[in-house]
Amino acid sequence: MIPVLLPALERHGRLKPTSAERVLLTTLSAATIDRMLIDVKVAAAGGRRRRVGFYSALRREVPIRRFNDWANPPPGFCEIDMVAHGGTSVAGSFIQTLTMVDIATGWTECLPLVTRDGSLVVEAMTRAQGLFPWVICCADFDNDSAFMNDVVVPWCRAQKIEVTRSRAYKKNDQAFVEQKNGAVVRRLVGYGRFDGVETARVMARLSAAARLLVNFFQPSFKLKEKRREGARIIKRYHPPTTPYERALEHPKLPSAIKRRLRETYRTLAPVQLLATIRSAQEELGERIGKRGLR
């Protein structure tokens, strides 16, 4: 890009390079430019230089939680994951959906992020704190660097949110959120490529209506027990109920929270919510990026 940008920058008085500087600018490799600008980048990042091995050390100090370790927690314990909307290509920047699932009730919140970034994860979790009917007290992540970093983990701890992580390459450790990634996020938006701020706003409008439909009106199964009999795994499920119904039946939720949920439920019109979802889906269909579908 430099050979293209340089004449324009000179023309508008942004740069006045000497002949020697012009030769350097047009012949230096990208790696050399990165090395020369390292001090500038550190200053722009607030004087912080990435420490070798820091993120690995941070990840190691976060305790591991396996699927069988949940042991029927009260509402507020969440599994958290991201769904990439890059189509068939992971090149470039594209929208991600942050999925948060409450273990006790199945309550699900899906928040689109313009790109994969720790600070955006914190912003989304801050919004989620106002969307969940109860306080978030535990966040169980996978080992993604978008979560295991010096932005998300310290923020959670400052908010008194316990942080745990799944084992690497063990998707079953996050079975609750993995199921919602497919049953909610992919079912709503599919596998196309989506990018850009305006598209993220459309996805946010879709998620705002879908969260009410999913949490108040969409029954789902919840695993009751799992045991091995010889070579077979036997699973038994509770009767399908909505997250709203599970919340009302949970003995550890205060009556004030249950009252607010009932009040919200009485105001909801599922047909209108479905119409809003369909409208947003149609607009998203017009915004699918072509690069991820070739």
Taking the C-alpha atoms of residue 185 and residue 172, their distance in angstroms, rounded to an integer, is 18
The answer as to whether 41 is a domain residue is: no
pTM attached to this predicted model: 0.78
Q: Which residues contact 269 (CB under 8 A, 6 or more apart)?
A: none
Q: Is residue 269 part of a domain?
A: yes
- Enter the tokens of residue 114: 């313009």
109-161: pLDDT as tens digits: 999 999 999 999 999 999 999 999 999 999 999 999 999 999 999 999 999 99
In-domain check, residue 243: yes
CATH of the domain at 231: 3.30.420.10
Domain membership flag for residue 1 = no
Please state, for a pLDDT cut of 90, what percent of the chain lies above it: 62
User: Which residues, other chains included, contact 287 with Cβ-Cβ below 8 Å and sequence gap of 6+?
Assistant: 194, 196, 198, 199, 202
Which domain does 207 fall in, by range? 56-293
Total domains in the chain come to 1
Amino acid occupying residue 247: A
User: Please, what sign has the CA dihedral across residues 197, 200, 145, 61?
Assistant: positive
Amino acid residing at 86: G
Report the C-alpha gap between 198 and 176 in whole angstroms. Answer: 30
In a domain, 21, yes or no: no
The sheet with strand 108-113 has its strands ordered as 108-113, 96-102, 77-84, 138-141, 162-165
Residue 42 clears pLDDT 50, i.e. is over it? yes
pLDDT confidence band for 292 (50 / 70 / 90): very low
Q: Does a structural domain hold residue 271?
A: yes
Answer whether residue 79 shows pLDDT above 70. yes
d(CA 95, CA 84): 7
Burial class (CB in 10 A: 0-12, 13-18, 19+), 101: buried
pLDDT in tens, 56-67: 778 888 999 987
| Residue 78 β-bridge partners | 102, 139
Report pLDDT digits (tens) over 155-206: 999 999 999 999 988 878 888 999 999 999 999 999 999 999 999 999 999 9
Could you tell me if residue 163 is inside a domain?
A: yes
Give the integer Cα–Cα distance in Å for 87 and 84.
8
Distance CA 96, CA 85 (A): 6
Q: Which residues contact 192 (CB under 8 A, 6 or more apart)?
A: 85, 87, 284, 288, 289, 292, 293
Strand stretches in the chain, DSSP E: 77-84, 96-102, 108-113, 138-141, 162-165, 220-229, 232-241
Radius of gyration in angstroms for the set of CA atoms belonging to the chain, rounded to a whole number: 23
Crossing angle for the helix pair 2-11 and 19-27, nearest 10 degrees?
Answer: 150
Residue 215 lies in a domain: yes
In terms of C-beta density within 10 A (0-12 exposed, 13-18 middle, 19 or more buried), how is residue 239 classed? Answer: exposed
Q: What is the pLDDT of residue 45?
A: 57
Residue 84, number of CB atoms within 10 A of its CB: 14
